[in-house]
Structure 1
Amino acid sequence: MKITRCIAPLVFGAIVSLAGCSSSEDKEAQVVNANLDAQSLYDRARESMENGNFAAAAASLSALDSRFPFGPLSHQVQLDLIFSYYKSGKSDQTLATIDRFIRLNPNHADVDYAFYMRGLTNMEADNNLFQEMVGIDNTDRDPTKSKQAFDDFRRLIQQFPDSKYAADARKRMVFIKNRLAKYEVAIARFYMRREAYIAAANRGKYILEHYPDSNQVQQALEIMVECYDQLELTELKDNAMKTLKLNFPNSEFIS
């Protein structure tokens, strides 16, 4: 706990310091960008990207997108802007740029990339850096962004099954599915601690119905067995136990 108390002020101080520097740099970049033509702006943005300065790249690309929205570089500018916003951790701007690109360019050759980046952005938004730094369990955190990421990747695979991003999207969907199932288990455990056994059993049932290929199925069945036992619902308990024995014969619940 002592480490936790030390980390928070240091991290907050670093954020404040960086925010001040970032604001100053943004103003300077705006002045420089205002005096550049389209190609010079794009060259400046690409140089920033190559140097890993994605915040500066985003500033240049945003200026280019605003001043020359219909230029020959417009599509590539928007795609680079999506990536730069994403790498800068600006999820709201990333999603807004992605949605605009998809809406205006539904038949573009790289629209599958836009869908893929939408999934990545929502998936990243579900992570909490500060909680991870201090070792806090994130299992019961609201999974709304994970659900959105799952839908984004599913849409990519459905519309573009041959996309070069499809294979990675499928892997990420497996990861997200396990995360969502784990969330349901955490909520079920919460209900059990409060002796709300019907609600807990329903969470277990939900996992079986919606995430049958996740890594939380065993726990879901064990929860159902325990809850039905507490509720004296013998038939439901026996059915859950049979399924548990069949699929997880080494479970501690089997005696």
Structure 2
Amino acid sequence: MQVKHLLLIAILALTAACSSKEPLDENLSETELYQQAQLDLDNNSYSSAVTKLKALESRYPFGRYAEQAQLELIYAHYKNSEPEAARAAAERFIRLHPQHANVDYAYYLKGLASFDQDVGLLSRFLPLDMTKRDPGAARDSYNEFAQLTSRYPTSRYAPDAKQRMIYLRNLLAAYEIHVAHYYMTRHAYVAAANRGRYVVENFQETPAVGDGLAVMTEAYQHLTLTELANTSLETLKLNYPDHPSLEDGQFVPLEEEEDNRSWLAKMTLGLIETDAPLPPGETRASQDVERQYQDAQDQIPKEIREGAVEEPEVESDDRSWFSYMTFGVFD
């Protein structure tokens, strides 16, 4: 199917959805408006339910269904894939009704809205690695579930919140390990070691603790901090003997040494190597000037170079590159 056909279908569907919205009867009573909103929720018509619940709250702010409408508005926004609106509605309900009998439900829906915030259209159909994405929403969800379980430990929603917290904690720890590996590839070993230590200290009982110890060991080895590296390695061997970085009890770095050779040297399997590292105090520019001077000197005819008048020898090592470039005029 061509793209223009898909666009046409999308436009027609949007037009039909907009045209299907009937104007809300202003003469509906509070009970009738609430019943219609409940019917929309039962039929999964969450957008229409949001409209009716907002109208109910605005028309009858002190009615018998006002508080219940505010609570169910959170659910309608959540089911309508509006996580920001759901969180805002939950925060408003908690602020206005902190002693409500069902305020724990508001905390739970607020956590769920953040939990599902990163689950977009692509992640529903493609195997995306959630541990490599921005953990902002996951961190918010964890904190919101933590508030629920600490304030209302006997809530009917607390067991599910605790299970989600375990998943979120593992996800946050794995994200820190991904960041540490990135630092390793950039040779930022101090930052990598700090990330690994952060996981070990703050995410105990998660699968990423072993990875944190491996990152610390490798980073400390690169930093030649032998004592810290050995301590991390012994802890890794003791607690995670089957970790992928251990082979027959020996530590094998997960990040291979980066090949700093040029692309030409890699393509020719080292037959054509690049220039050797510069000695201290020299630059590529000074080497180029010396090379140009030597080329110019080689082009001088032999008869002139071997003239009757023999010039005194000059120690070339004692002259600067500027002297070479000006042929000694300003010596």
Greater Rg, structure 1 or structure 2? 2
Question: Given that residues 156 and 166 in structure 1 are in contact (C-alpha distance below 8 angstroms), is that contact kept between their aligned partners in structure 2?
Answer: yes
Length, aligned pairs only: 246
Say if 2:19 is the partner of 1:24: yes
In 2 relative to 1, CA 85–15 (structure 1 residues): closer, same or farther, beyond 3 Å?
A: farther
Using the aligned pairs only, state the percent identity.
37
User: 2: CA distance between counterparts of 1:204 and 1:14?
Assistant: 50
Aligned to 1:135: 127
Q: Provide the C-alpha distance between the structure 2 equivalents of 1:218 and 1:177, rounded to a whole number of angstroms.
A: 15
Q: C-alpha offsets along residues 65-107 of structure 1, whole Å, 9 cap, x if unaligned?
A: 1111110011111111111110001112211111111111000
Q: Matches of 1:164 and 1:238 in 2, distance apart?
A: 47
Contact 1:160–1:166 (CA<8 Å) still a contact in 2?
Answer: yes
Q: What do residues 181-209 of structure 1 show as CA deviations (whole Å, max 9, x unaligned)?
A: 11101111111111111111111111111
Tell me if structure 2 keeps the 8 A contact 1:102–1:111: yes
Name the structure, 1 or 2, with higher relative contact order (CA <8 Å, separation 6+). 1
Specify the alignment match of 2:83 in structure 1: 91
Contact 1:225 1:241 (C-alpha < 8 Å) held by counterparts = yes
Higher mean displacement: 129-138 or 52-61: 129-138
Cα distance between partner residues in 1 of 2:6 and 2:203:
37
Alignment of 1:1-255 (within 5 A): 18-26=13-21, 28=22, 31-251=23-243, 252-253=245-246, 254-255=249-250
- More helix by percentage: 1
Q: Is there any run of 5+ residues in structure 2 with no aligned partner, and where?
A: 251-331
The alpha-carbon distance between structure 1 residues 104 and 51, as it changes in their structure 2 partners (threshold 3 A), is: same
Q: Is the CA contact (8 Å cut-off) linking 1:122 and 1:148 kept in structure 2?
A: yes
Q: Residues 157, 68 of structure 1: CA spacing in aligned structure 2 closer, same or farther, 3 A cutoff?
A: same
- Contact kept, 8 Å, 1:113 with 1:165, in 2: the verdict is yes
Residues 187, 203 of structure 1: 8 Å contact kept: yes
Deviation (angstroms), 1:218: 1.2
Distance, in Å, in 1 between the alignment partners of 2:155 and 2:97 is 17
Gaps of 5+ in 1: 1-5
- Root-mean-square deviation (CA), in Å? 2.2
Give, as a single letter, the amino acid of the residue that structure 2 aligns with 1:47. L
Give a deviation string over 1:39-87, Cα, whole Å, max 9, x none: 1111111111111222211111111111111100111111111111100
